[in-house]
Amino acid sequence: MNYNELIDSAIKAKEFAYVPYSNFKVGAAIITKDGKIFTGCNIENASYGATNCAERTAIYKAISEGNRDFEAIAIVSSSGNFTPPCGICRQVIAEFMPNGIVILANDKGEIRKYSTSELLPIKFDLL
């Protein structure tokens, strides 16, 4: 699959980021196995800890609208560099997209692709 549309969706979502504290915008876009795209941006808060990352915004939007089967998630940021997902987002990605692809894009049009299990080989579980 060509992930250009997914990356473009993440780039557009990044512009909605609410980042008065870090000024670091992140955009994410997740695609379901049947081709639906959900986007997200990071949303910060004065209490800092209430901040929601772009990846989780996108995933939670998709889940809350009845979607469970995901193929890939694209992530971009205002830094222009590759922006790998934080540990909390890796845990959430692993729960909802265990066999998926994580695509990072920078502002030179380069991409890096990882499997979910490469990014978090052993996730937390209630075992």
Cα R_g (the chain), whole angstroms: 14
Chain residues binding ligand THU by CB under 6 A are 19, 22, 24, 26, 42, 44, 51, 53-55, 85-86, 89
Q: Which residues pair with 30 in a beta bridge?
A: 38, 73
The strand pairing partners of 104, in sequence order, are: 75, 112
Given the complex with ligand THU, which of 10 and 26 has the nearer CB atom? 26
Q: Which is nearer to ligand THU, 86 or 127 (CB)?
A: 86
CB of 39 to ligand THU, least distance (A): 12
Residue 42 corresponds to which tokens in the numbers above?
């990071």
Q: Which one, 24 or 33, has the nearer CB to ligand THU?
A: 24
The tokens for 114 are 């990882």
Please say whether the dihedral angle defined by the alpha carbons of residues 92, 27, 21 and 23, taken in this order, is positive or negative. positive
Picking from 28, 41, 37, the residue whose alpha carbon sits closest to that of residue 70 is 37
Q: Which is nearer to ligand THU, 33 or 113 (CB)?
A: 113
CB of 35 to ligand THU, least distance (A): 24
Q: Which residues have CB under 8 Å from 81's CB, separation 6+?
A: 106
Residue labelled with tokens 């934080």: 86
Active-site residue identified among 5, 55, 65, 110: 55
Quick check: is 55 catalytic? yes
Q: How far is the CB of 127 from ligand THU (least distance, A)?
A: 26
Q: Tell me how far, at minimum, the Cβ of 95 lies from ligand THU, in Å.
A: 15
Known catalytic residues are 55
